[in-house]
Amino acid sequence: MASSSSSPIIIEKLIHTHTYKFILFFFFFLVFLASIKHSNGCYTSIFSFGDSIADTGNLACISESPQPPHFMLPPYGETYFHRPTGRCSDGRLVIDFIAEYLGLPLVPPYFGGQNGSCTNFQEGVNFAVVAKRNSQSLHKLFFGKSVGLVQENIAKKLLRNSLVLMGEIGGNDYNHAFDSGRNIEEIQSFVPPVINAIGFAINELIELGAVTLMVPGNFPIGCRPTFLTNFMSSNKEAYDPKTGCLIWLNEFAMYHNDMLQIELNRIQKLHPYATIIYADYYNAAMRFFRSPIEYGFSGGALTACCGARGPYNFDPSVECGYPASTACHDPSSHVSWDGLHMTEAAYRWIAKGLLQGPYTVPPINTSFCVSLPVISTKSSK
pLDDT tens track for 301-343: 999 999 998 999 999 999 999 999 999 999 999 999 999 999 9
Residue 18 has a pLDDT of 57
- How is residue 376 annotated by DSSP? P
Position with higher pLDDT, 26 vs 146:
26
**Max intra-chain CA distance, the chain:** 59
In 3D space, the residue among 224, 232, 284, 226 whose CA is nearest the CA of residue 250 turns out to be 224
Buried b (16+ CB within 10 A) or exposed e, 322-333: eeebebbebbbb
- How far apart CA 34 and CA 168 sit, in angstroms, is 26
- Tell me if residue 341 is catalytic: yes
Is residue 2 assigned to a domain?
no
Residue 267: inside a domain: yes
Quick one: how many helices (H) and strands (E) in the chain?
A: 13, 8
Alpha-carbon distance 288 to 293, whole Å?
A: 8
Residue 378 predicted with pLDDT over 60: yes
Look at residue 14 and tell me if it is in a domain.
no
* Beta-sheet pairing, 162-166 with 45-49: parallel
Please write down the HEC assignment for all residues of 121-183.
Answer: CCCEEECCCCCCCCCCHHHHHHHCCCCCCCCHHHHHHHHHCEEEEECCCCHHHHHHHHHCCCC
> What's the pLDDT band for 40 if we cut at 50, 70, 90?
very low
How many Å apart are CA 93 and CA 80, to the nearest integer?
11
Q: Which residues lie across from 212 on neighbouring strands? A: 163, 275
Question: Considering the domain boundaries, does residue 214 fall inside one?
Answer: yes
Q: How many angstroms separate the Cα of 328 from the Cα of each of 26, 89, 214, 337, 338?
A: 37, 13, 33, 9, 11
When divided into structural domains, the chain yields a total of: 1
What's the CA gap between 282 and 271, in Å, rounded? Answer: 26
d(CA 48, CA 282): 19
Whether 376 is a known active-site residue: answer no
Tens-place pLDDT, residues 145-159: 322 223 344 467 778
Domain annotation covers residue 370: no
CATH code for the domain of 79: 3.40.50.1110
| 376 within some domain | no
d(CA 122, CA 145): 22
Q: Is 369 left (phi over 0), alpha (psi -120 to 50) or beta?
A: beta
At 141 the pLDDT is 36
Residue 49, classed as helix, strand or coil, is strand
pTM (whole model) above 0.95 = no
Range of the domain at 58: 23-361
Among residues 45, 48, 52, 336, which one is catalytic? 52
Chain segment 268-312, per-residue pLDDT in tens: 999 999 999 999 999 999 999 999 999 999 998 999 999 998 999
Active site residue 38: no
| pLDDT above 90 (res 59) | no
Q: At residue 57, what are phi and psi to the nearest 5 degrees?
A: 140, 10
306-307 and 326-327 strand pairing: antiparallel
CB 168: neighbour CB atoms within 10 A?
A: 27
